[in-house]
Amino acid sequence: MPDGAHLKPELPLVLSRYKDALDLALKDVISDRSIFLYDMLRYCMGWADANGAAFETEKGKGIRPSLCLFTCDALGGDIEEALPAAVSIELIHNFSLIHDEIQDSDEIRHHRPTLWNIWGIPKALVAGNVMRVLADKSMSTVLPDDSKLLSASSSIVSEACLEMIEGQYMDISFEGGNSISVDQYMEMISHKTGALLRSSVHIGAVIGSRGGRVADIFREIGIKLGFMFQIRDDILGTWGETTSTGKPVGSDIRRKKNTLPIIHARETQTYQEEITELYSLESIEDHHVDRVLDILDATKASHYCQGLVENYALDVSKDIENIGISKNSKEEFKELVSFLVDRNF
């Protein structure tokens, strides 16, 4: 198990401070209409059960919208101005989750059945699409008096959304492939996960700095945070504990996912053939999972992956030092970075 995967760190301030404001704003956007379709969205967000009755359950970390608001905040902006953008990004994230779950036939998310699993693919597909339109609607209300910044912000989200979808396409295309290189993989995750995460930091900075050039630096930071986030996700999908991740140990292996640990191990000549064989099996049993975990141990895959995460963290910490935000904001930002290095959920 990689360092830190056994700890459950506290949620850093950056991820907890804006939760209530975000929740209110998100509820405001989604509870607008009454047909049952919107209860599906509320279920997806963790506010309703499968019958549409009010219900509170474990939610996502809200890392994207929180980052958007924090960045705006740290640059002295008014978080109320960034709120519609943060909401938009969170809705796009949820849109992508709903469609991803269909694509990957995922039956469970956060310990609850996924939308398609309850309501079937056609309705889940539609629910995802509505989420996406609501995201657009929210985005269109950003900075109504500054059409230039509104247009810039919309473009950032639109471009990120396009890259994210292209990343999903690459990911699907990789499925069953045995020769994906680490470079190809990094390209894919920079699109699939990275683009939206990058856009949340970027757009918060654009709004917070009123279009200042500092936003470009935040954009670069956002790219690095995206890699950290996804690689740590791969670590958790391989070695994480069910109790914290909501998925069984080795769940990504069981699903024959091409994650970074696997791709790294496959680049080691000695095990290439064996992994390819194991990943060609109709179904992966417990002893196969154990064997893959042994190979990952032998190739020091967790050390390699966690090393990458820590390198990005170091890099981001340096970037943070060089931007013009308060000492306090720098500390908070670094606390978030530490969390992303060690998180086990």
Q: By the criterion CB under 8 A, which residues form the site for a copy of itself?
A: 33, 35-37, 99, 102-104, 121-123, 125-127, 129-130, 132-134, 136-137, 140, 144, 147, 150-151, 154-155, 158, 161-162, 165-166, 168-170, 172-173
Q: How far apart are CA 280 and CA 265, in angstroms?
A: 16
Please name every residue paired with 113 in a beta bridge, in sequence order, or none if there are none: 108
Residue 210 CB, shortest distance to a copy of itself, in Å, is 17
Residue 39 CB, shortest distance to a copy of itself, in Å, is 11
Q: Which is nearer to a copy of itself, 140 or 242 (CB)?
A: 140
Q: How far apart are CA 183 and CA 227, in angstroms?
A: 12
Pair 321, 1: CB distance under 8 Å: no
Q: Which is nearer to a copy of itself, 1 or 125 (CB)?
A: 125
Residue 185 CB, shortest distance to a copy of itself, in Å, is 16
Residue 29 CB, shortest distance to a copy of itself, in Å, is 12
Pair 7, 344: CB distance under 8 Å: yes
N residues, the chain: 345
Q: How far apart are CA 69 and CA 241, in angstroms?
A: 30
**DSSP string covering 201-257:** HHHHHHHHTTS-THHHHHHHHHHHHHHHHHHHHHHHHHH--HHHHSS-TTHHHHTT-
Q: Which is nearer to a copy of itself, 150 or 337 (CB)?
A: 150
Residue 103 CB, shortest distance to a copy of itself, in Å, is 4
Question: What is the CA 238 to chain-centroid distance, rounded?
Answer: 17
Residue 46 CB, shortest distance to a copy of itself, in Å, is 21
Q: Which is nearer to a copy of itself, 36 or 78 (CB)?
A: 36
Q: Which is nearer to a copy of itself, 107 or 285 (CB)?
A: 107
Residue 135 CB, shortest distance to a copy of itself, in Å, is 10
Query: What are residue 178's phi and psi, to 5 degrees?
Result: -115, 5
Q: Which is nearer to a copy of itself, 174 or 345 (CB)?
A: 174
Pair 160, 198: CB distance under 8 Å: yes
Q: How far apart are CA 178 and CA 167, in angstroms?
A: 18
Q: Give the residue among 288, 106, 256 at the shortest CA–CA distance from 178.
A: 256
Query: What are residue 31's phi and psi, to 5 degrees?
Result: -90, 20
Residue 104 CB, shortest distance to a copy of itself, in Å, is 8
Residue 124 CB, shortest distance to a copy of itself, in Å, is 10
Q: Which is nearer to a copy of itself, 99 or 109 (CB)?
A: 99
115 burial type by CB count under 10 A (0-12 exposed, 13-18 middle, 19+ buried): buried
Pair 181, 260: CB distance under 8 Å: no
Q: Which is nearer to a copy of itself, 122 or 177 (CB)?
A: 122
Q: Which is nearer to a copy of itself, 104 or 315 (CB)?
A: 104
- Taking the chain, what is the end-to-end CA distance rounded to the nearest angstrom? 14
